[in-house]
Amino acid sequence: MERITLYCRTTSARGTTNLRFRVTNGRAVTMYYSTGRRIPNEQLAVFTPEGSIRPRVTVYNPKLKADIDEYFAAINAAYNHMKITGMDMRSEVLQAEVDKIQLETGASTINEIRAKYDRPAVENGDEPMASANLMTLKALMAKGEEAQIGGRPTTQPQPNNDSQDGEGGEE
């Protein structure tokens, strides 16, 4: 069973730390995901390695907590996808898969992902993306029913009644 944890290598209360996560599966797999975000150490100190708020902590950054929860979900989804499809279990592959999920779900913009890799911003890259194909199963079924004509799917060839003699037969 995989375990995803916040990965902080500092005990200093001052300064900032890169928000990173570690994925382990027993002793066989260890991968890291870096968000590219620098977070003040005092804000990270309120979280347990599992991403929950430490006991007796009442003051914390709720936006950071929500972001950490989103990262945990995306990393879990990416790891499971990698495992099921037989992808290389390397940090670079995990990084790409999580970035792809973050982009597809609108959690990150193209320019945010490009900035992590020191790439220049692109035009309209600050706009969140959304998949036009994402819909509920009920909506997809309704769309399929609309695409049928007379009980037949529209992909079937329709009879051709455009013959030159007007009767539809052979000449």
Q: Mean pLDDT over residues 46-63, rounded?
A: 94
The predicted-structure confidence for 72-103, as pLDDT tens digits, reads as follows: 999 999 999 999 999 999 999 999 999 999 88
Instruction: Please give the Cα distance from 10 to 100 (Å, whole number).
Output: 29
pLDDT surpasses 70 at 12: yes
The SS3 of residue 36 is strand
Rg (CA), the chain: 25
Report the predicted TM-score, pTM, of the whole model to 2 decimal places.
0.71
Q: What's the first-to-final CA gap in the chain, in angstroms?
A: 72
